[in-house]
A and B are shown apart, each in its own frame.
Chain A
Amino acid sequence: MDTQDSLSGGLDSNLGLYDADASNFDARLASDSMDVEDGGGARSSTRVDGNFGADDSDQALATGDEDEGDDDDGDAATDDDLSVLMRAWVNERSSPEILEYEGAAMENLMELVDFQTQKMATQPSALGNILKMDADRVKYLVRSYLRTRLSKIEEHARHYIKDVQYRERLSQNELEYAKGYVELEERHARRSFLDQLPPHLRGLDDVTADGLEMVSKPDLEAAVFCRVRSTVGEFQFEASEAPIVMKRNNIFITRYSIIRNLLEDGKVELI
């Protein structure tokens, strides 16, 4: 239990980004110290150890070697629009690069909010207040998600609109925003000082002889925490190391580039 407690303490500080309060949103964020898996931590330095998460019924079904979770938070609940967006939001806030745009879930949710807002008018005020709070929180989520993306777009706007792969991840509005932002930055630089420099030095996307580029890229080697959502099995983290078994609800700290594909497939989530 001690390890569990200290670990969850460490995680909280890591999750400081979105405040302990966010756990109200999502029961899965609260660490459930029901079952600590044994034989964990010693395997690799990348392994953080511990078994997190309240909803292990999925694994119980898949592998049959886990106790049935004693809560009702099954997988049906984790795949509704709110959970999809929650996950996308947390992933987005933790990953160094911009991820796929979660447009559909957001649109559905906002439709629900709209519906709920209309319903609120006819409710008694106590219930109405609760519903309004609920709607406000969803709006907060959508807002925070979109703004996180905007700030990430601003960081590497030039790279994102140049690279086809990234361009496809942006929504139409975001792409326009990125283009507008690059234009704005360039205009600002030109008028402030670039036009005063010799013509040969006015570029903003030069590459030097030793391969240094002016256009910044996301750092794919950044360290991230990730939790396994569905058992992956043996996974090669480093070419030089032995493969490590990735079971559901295991938590790892590793370089982003290593788990990038797993994240895209939805096999892991960032925390």
Chain B
Amino acid sequence: MLGDEAFRLAKEAKDITADHIPAYNEEQVRLVTQEARYLWMRIEEMIAGLNTATTAAAAIPSQQRDAQSQVPGSRQLGYSQASQVDQQHQSQQSTQRSALQTEIENTNAQTALYFLTLNRNKRCLLAYHHRRAQFLRLLLWTLHLASSMVPSSLSQRLSPEEQNYARDYARLNSSYRDAVEGQLCPSDSLNWTADGELPPRDLFIEVRVVKDCGEIVTENGVVNLQAGTQHYLHRSDVEHLVTIGYLEHINPS
């Protein structure tokens, strides 16, 4: 039915939650754009059909008038007869006109319906892609804007275009970050992608290593982060490792 495909797409956009995204439904997007193209074609056809009908209708009365004048002596048939002929012409014309009128009205209603459906399709497409892009942006922020860090289980569900989008978004952000850091603190970093919701509470945090990270260099020397060990470290040194799940923060207050 009209608009069903777009509705399905909109429903899928609603299925996106904070930690789940369904696979990109290329087929559904194709169906919706296909329907849009078909509807547009129908609208053009209908308008063209209507145009020929109106020009044809405009041509008819003048033809009739010509025919009338071409009949010599039609006036001589007597008043009653002549008026009869006239009436005939008139009624013929008026039925033609009202037929044309209903056709115009029909076409108007139909094109309006199709046009609204078209716009609705476009809206659903926009919403679908917008929601997905929103999800992607949030995901990228938690990954410290490293588009290459997107887990493969997720990147499988993205369209190639969305993967481009993720890369470009990360690039856009890093160029902004570089510009700002260059301006505000040339010799320091803002930890741009650190968790933005909570202000730093403790300078040191206790972490347990979940996955081997090898050795990292901190201000106080080299620390070997072996799986299963526990460390008490500068928060800013290891925060990024906590976010991507290599370390576990013990007793976050």
> Is B172's CB under 8 angstroms from A184's CB?
yes
> Is A142's CB under 8 angstroms from B40's CB?
no
Contact of A198 among B40, B165, B187, B192 (CB under 8 A): B40
> Is A142's CB under 8 angstroms from B184's CB?
yes
B200 close to A (CB within 8 Å): yes
Residue of A nearest to B197 (CB): A19
Interfacial chain A residues near B137, Cβ < 8 Å: 154
Residue of A nearest to B165 (CB): A188
B249 CB, nearest partner CB in chain A, Å: 16
Contact of B194 among A143, A177, A180, A198 (CB under 8 A): A143
Contact of B33 among A132, A144, A184, A193 (CB under 8 A): A193
Contact of B133 among A139, A140, A185, A194 (CB under 8 A): A185
Interface code A5-48, partner B: CB below 8 Å = 1, 0 otherwise?
Answer: 00000000000001101101100000000000000000000000
Interfacial chain B residues near A25, Cβ < 8 Å: 199
Whole-angstrom CA separation of A132 from B33 in the bound complex? 56
Contact of B179 among A19, A173, A191 (CB under 8 A): A173
> Is A19's CB under 8 angstroms from B168's CB?
no
B27 close to A (CB within 8 Å): no
> Is B129's CB under 8 angstroms from A129's CB?
no
Stretch of B57-65, B67-75, B94-102, B118-126 on the interface side? B118-126
> Is B122's CB under 8 angstroms from A189's CB?
no
Enumerate A156-204 residues with CB–CB distance to B below 8 Å.
173-174, 176-177, 180-181, 184-185, 187-189, 191-194, 196-198, 200-201
> Is A180's CB under 8 angstroms from B33's CB?
no
A174 CB, nearest partner CB in chain B, Å: 8
A67 CB, nearest partner CB in chain B, Å: 32
> Is B203's CB under 8 angstroms from A129's CB?
yes
A119 close to B (CB within 8 Å): no
Whole-angstrom CA separation of A191 from B185 in the bound complex? 38
Interfacial chain A residues near B119, Cβ < 8 Å: 201, 208
B5 CB, nearest partner CB in chain A, Å: 12
Enumerate B143-182 residues with CB–CB distance to A below 8 Å.
159, 161-162, 164-165, 168-169, 172-173, 175-176, 179-180
B19 close to A (CB within 8 Å): no
Interfacial chain A residues near B106, Cβ < 8 Å: none
Interfacial chain A residues near B162, Cβ < 8 Å: 188, 192
Stretch of A105-113, A221-229, A254-262 on the interface side? A105-113
> Is B200's CB under 8 angstroms from A110's CB?
no
A133 close to B (CB within 8 Å): yes
B61 CB, nearest partner CB in chain A, Å: 34
Interfacial chain B residues near A144, Cβ < 8 Å: 196, 199
Whole-angstrom CA separation of A139 from B188 in the bound complex? 10
Known: A110-B184, A173-B179. A140 touches B199 (CB 8 A): yes
B90 close to A (CB within 8 Å): no
> Is B33's CB under 8 angstroms from A113's CB?
no
> Is B129's CB under 8 angstroms from A146's CB?
no
> Is B199's CB under 8 angstroms from A110's CB?
no
Enumerate B1-39 residues with CB–CB distance to A below 8 Å.
29-30, 32-34, 36-37
A245 close to B (CB within 8 Å): no
B104 CB, nearest partner CB in chain A, Å: 19
Residue of B nearest to A110 (CB): B184
> Is B187's CB under 8 angstroms from A114's CB?
yes
Interfacial chain A residues near B32, Cβ < 8 Å: 193
> Is B179's CB under 8 angstroms from A192's CB?
no
Interfacial chain A residues near B176, Cβ < 8 Å: 150, 173-174, 176-177
A189 CB, nearest partner CB in chain B, Å: 6
> Is B199's CB under 8 angstroms from A197's CB?
no
Known: A137-B199, A192-B129, A192-B161. A198 touches B188 (CB 8 A): no
> Is A184's CB under 8 angstroms from B168's CB?
yes
B243 close to A (CB within 8 Å): no
Contact of A193 among B29, B191, B198 (CB under 8 A): B29
Interfacial chain B residues near A141, Cβ < 8 Å: 199
Known: A19-B199, A173-B183. A197 touches B172 (CB 8 A): no
Contact of B190 among A18, A143, A185 (CB under 8 A): A143
Enumerate A118-155 residues with CB–CB distance to B below 8 Å.
129, 132-133, 136-137, 139-144, 146-147, 150, 154
A230 close to B (CB within 8 Å): no
Whole-angstrom CA separation of A196 from B196 in the bound complex? 39
Interfacial chain A residues near B194, Cβ < 8 Å: 140, 143
Enumerate A79-119 residues with CB–CB distance to B below 8 Å.
106-107, 110, 113-114, 117
Whole-angstrom CA separation of A142 from B185 in the bound complex? 11
Interfacial chain A residues near B108, Cβ < 8 Å: none
Contact of B29 among A136, A137, A176, A192 (CB under 8 A): A192
Known: A21-B201, A143-B191, A147-B196. A198 touches B180 (CB 8 A): no
> Is A201's CB under 8 angstroms from B133's CB?
no
**Lowest 5 A-B CB distances belong to which pairs?**
A196-B33, A198-B40, A110-B184, A173-B179, A188-B165
